[in-house]
A and B are shown apart, each in its own frame.
Chain A
Amino acid sequence: MTTTRRATAEPRWVRLLLTAVALGFLFLFLVLPLIAVFWEAFAQGAQTYWEALQEGEARSAMLLTLTIAALVLPFNIAFGVAAAWAIAKFEFRGKSLLTTLIDLPFAVSPVVAGLIFIILFGAQGFFGPWLAAHDIRIIFALPGMILATLFVTFPFVARELIPLMQAQGRDEEEAAVSLGASGWQMFRRVTLPNIKWGLMYGVILANARAMGEFGAVSVVSGHIRGETNTLPLHVEILYNEYNQIGAFAAATVLAFLGLVTLVAKTIVEWRMRKETEMLTAELPPEKTELPPSVATERP
């Protein structure tokens, strides 16, 4: 061989093999299923596909999924920012406990999360009789599904923001206050612009999870057709009824939402990287253009 090889480089066949394994895996587990979903959905032509999506229950499932996501995200943003703010900028007792608790929904199975709400608000639950007496429906209704979705999605925003806010420190906020800014002005003009991309990233992840959540929502939804069926639940029901076209058509909508998320995530990541690059950029060499009187003092 005439070309010199770096001492640390692996032989060519090792590199090719590793690349092939990675790409093959990606194809087998990500690309192939995606193709299969669309293939099945369009198996009887675009017309049937379109009709399956127009069908009443499918439309109400889509609407419900969007409604839940739209109602859950504001809470996620509020909680995520508040928790990240508290953890990143203040010292207090129980801080590490709070940090651990934020991760709880990631550790607990979503089904357990759903069961918690059944135990609390179900007909035989702690608050069940009281709720029944006041004619408030939580379980097998929209409020329960929102609660379950909140539970599984609340870590996303906070986890994204905590390291970001810790890295940024408190100096800018303190500077703002010493310049006379009120708490809201400080948040609105200093903190929020500094965390906006991190916040966006967290919201995108939370949104993807909120729309795709199955386990927790399945437990509390009661599967009332046209009323408490979200898109993922709808897919399962149709599939169990051997309605291949309907199931896969609904699945394509979920897959499409996933792809949109992916694109949005990539854009936000790119913006975040650009911003960090800008902030950590090499400083230009020091220019000292000083007042003439000082400059002349120098020999």
Chain B
Amino acid sequence: MSIEIRNISKRFGNFVALDNLSLDIPTGELVALLGPSGCGKTTLLRIIAGMESPDGGNVLFGGEEATHVHARERQVGFVFQHYALFRHMSVFENVAFGLRVRPRKGRPPEAEIRDRVMNLLKLVQLDWLANRYPSQLSGGQRQRIALARALAVEPKVLLLDEPFGALDTKVRKELRRWLRRLHDEMHISSVFVTHDQEEALEVADRVVVMNRGRIEQIGSPDEVYSSPASPFVYQFLGNVNVFHHRMHGCWAEVEREGEAPGAGSIAFVRPHDIDLDAAPISGGMKAVVSHVHRIGPLVRVELEHEAETIEVELTRERAANLELSSGRTVWFKPRQAKVFPTGPTTAPATKQPFLF
């Protein structure tokens, strides 16, 4: 079922959580709401679920007005960050809950409930845990049970609020691939909230980048990463170096073709889009290596250039060839940069590399 969000606004006291936001989610897509904490993504999800009511605007499910439909009638599956499993019920009863609370005439007979619950538990690969209690499960298992419970009521829409946020990195990575696979099998419209850009880019069909109650960009994972619409999106998706063109005129001018001279602009360069050499390169700039961090397959080098810190990422091989060490003088040259004009709408750029 498709979801349409039209001009939704929501305030909490003086805090504007959602500012006249509109969004279309087509049937069967897996959409990620991505943004920093406080950007309104969870509020939006809760409004779609009917757990929060908007101050203004409409929510449409499959083209039908659903803004004032009660949460229990929306046929929405909701998965919470902290699982919210019923702690005094066994895993089986947790999954069966949605079927058992149905009005008597719509309630399936006991044998059918049993079959459906066991099938769902098989789907999440946890049928052997049916008689355990939530407290006896690990975090990853709990979240899969929560997902099975949400699916038991055959929801038209699946909403996940930071579903992997409370899990450790390894489990998180495995679970999100598993979620992607599950979605490919079931084709149920799904929206998940995350602040983890890697998670959004890996799992989603489409990524909605949010900031301060507004949508910054909507696009495929590749689109938002390779052609970000705003400085915020660029900075939020991955590490970035920020340059102010007046300080680095020699190359920023080239990138700024067609722009009126004198207009302020900021250039962004990804750390892996910078060439580094031990010998002078044409068009390159001189800098001094201040730190060398070896992080797994990558080597992250911090350069000092005219009192600014520039971050460069190299492969291990390349770094070994250059024999990098702190204090060394090197030459660097950005391969590509993205230039945004500075205006009142752009986020204030920092001189520091934007790190997460």
B171 touching A179 by the CB < 8 A rule? no
A294 touching B98 by the CB < 8 A rule? no
Query: When A171-B80, A175-B80, A294-B181 are in contact, do A180 and B174 touch as well, CB less than 8 Å?
Result: no
Q: How far apart are the CA atoms of A179 and B79 in the complex, in Å?
A: 11
A-B contact count (CB 8 A): 101
A180 touching B49 by the CB < 8 A rule? no
Contact partner of A288 (CB less than 8 A), chosen from B72, B74, B88, B140, is B140
B84 touching A172 by the CB < 8 A rule? yes
Asked whether B149 is an interface residue with its Cβ less than 8 Å from the other chain, the reply is yes
B80 touching A181 by the CB < 8 A rule? no
B78 touching A178 by the CB < 8 A rule? yes
A193: nearest chain-B partner, CB-CB: B88
Asked whether B86 is an interface residue with its Cβ less than 8 Å from the other chain, the reply is yes
Interface centre among A180, A190, A286, A293 (most CB of B within 10 A): A180
Task: List CB contacts (< 8 Å) of A252-299 with chain B.
Answer: 278-279, 281, 283-291, 293-294, 297
Q: How far apart are the CA atoms of A292 and B149 in the complex, in Å?
A: 22
Q: How far apart are the CA atoms of A281 and B82 in the complex, in Å?
A: 15
Task: List CB contacts (< 8 Å) of B312-346 with chain A.
Answer: none
Query: When A177-B72, A180-B101 are in contact, do A286 and B181 touch as well, CB less than 8 Å?
Result: no
Residues of B within 8 A of A175 (CB): 78, 80, 84-86, 146, 149
Asked whether B170 is an interface residue with its Cβ less than 8 Å from the other chain, the reply is yes
A171 touching B84 by the CB < 8 A rule? yes
Q: How far apart are the CA atoms of A56 and B97 in the complex, in Å?
A: 54
Query: When A182-B72, A194-B88, A290-B178 are in contact, do A176 and B138 touch as well, CB less than 8 Å?
Result: no
Asked whether B56 is an interface residue with its Cβ less than 8 Å from the other chain, the reply is no
A179 touching B87 by the CB < 8 A rule? no
Contact partner of B125 (CB less than 8 A), chosen from A181, A189, A279, A290, is A290
A290: nearest chain-B partner, CB-CB: B174
B87 touching A172 by the CB < 8 A rule? yes
Which range holds the interface residue count of chain B?
35 or more
A288 touching B170 by the CB < 8 A rule? yes
Contact partner of B87 (CB less than 8 A), chosen from A174, A180, A279, A297, is A279
Contact partner of B138 (CB less than 8 A), chosen from A279, A284, A294, is A284
Asked whether A185 is an interface residue with its Cβ less than 8 Å from the other chain, the reply is yes
Residues of B within 8 A of A291 (CB): 125, 178, 181
Q: How far apart are the CA atoms of A179 and B80 in the complex, in Å?
A: 13
Q: How far is the CB of B60 from chain A (nearest CB, A)?
A: 19
A293: nearest chain-B partner, CB-CB: B181
Residues of A within 8 A of B178 (CB): 290-291, 294
A286 touching B171 by the CB < 8 A rule? yes
B135 touching A179 by the CB < 8 A rule? no
Asked whether B290 is an interface residue with its Cβ less than 8 Å from the other chain, the reply is no
Q: How far apart are the CA atoms of A278 and B73 in the complex, in Å?
A: 34
Interface centre among B76, B78, B85, B139 (most CB of A within 10 A): B78
Q: How far apart are the CA atoms of A174 and B86 in the complex, in Å?
A: 11
Q: How far is the CB of B108 from chain A (nearest CB, A)?
A: 13
Interface centre among B88, B125, B168 (most CB of A within 10 A): B88
Contact partner of A281 (CB less than 8 A), chosen from B73, B74, B135, is B135
B171 touching A288 by the CB < 8 A rule? yes
Q: How far apart are the CA atoms of A278 and B149 in the complex, in Å?
A: 22
Residues of B within 8 A of A171 (CB): 80, 82, 84
Q: How far apart are the CA atoms of A57 and B78 in the complex, in Å?
A: 62
A178 touching B77 by the CB < 8 A rule? yes
Q: How far apart are the CA atoms of A283 and B129 in the complex, in Å?
A: 15
18 A–B contacts from the bound complex (CB under 8 Å): A172-B84, A174-B51, A174-B84, A177-B72, A178-B51, A179-B72, A179-B98, A180-B98, A189-B86, A189-B101, A193-B86, A193-B88, A283-B139, A286-B140, A286-B171, A289-B125, A291-B181, A294-B181
The 10 closest A-B pairs by CB, nearest first: A171-B84, A179-B98, A181-B101, A178-B78, A175-B84, A193-B88, A286-B138, A185-B101, A177-B71, A180-B72
In the complex, given contacts A177-B71, A287-B138, what are 18 additional A-B residue pairs having Cβ atoms less than 8 angstroms apart?
A171-B80, A174-B71, A175-B146, A176-B97, A178-B49, A178-B51, A180-B72, A180-B98, A180-B101, A189-B101, A279-B87, A279-B135, A283-B139, A286-B171, A288-B174, A289-B125, A290-B178, A294-B174
